[in-house]
Amino acid sequence: MLKSKGGLTLKILLDEMYTGMKEYLDALGWEIETVNTIGLQGAEDKKVIEHAKENELIIVTQDEKLADIAELRHVKYVLISKKMLAKMIDSELRKKF
């Protein structure tokens, strides 16, 4: 399990679009839950955020609305934007070709 700079164990909640990343992040040492494995697939954003808050999870999502609400509720999150993904893809393409 990975720890924060303050020594706390970091636990991650993957939103629906990233459930396929669970095994990869698990292999890298992260403690991972997904909305699917906890029975929140298709749930309202509010329920996902409340679960994350109650269980001290960091939400990983591409959903800007979910991220905005998490921020308003003081729930930790990482927003993987389409802009961020485009830059990463561009960088990899430029390195290889």
Domain ranges, ordered by start, for the chain: 11-96
pLDDT at 63: 96
Distances (CA, A) of 34 to 62, 86, 91: 14, 24, 28
Tell me the pLDDT tens digit for each residue of 52-91.
999 999 999 999 999 999 999 999 999 999 999 999 999 9
Distant-in-sequence, close-in-space partners of 20: CB < 8 Å, separation ≥ 6? none
> 3-state DSSP call for residue 39?
coil
| pLDDT above 80: residue 2 | no
* DSSP H or E stretch at residue 21: none
Domain 11-96: assigned CATH number: 3.40.50
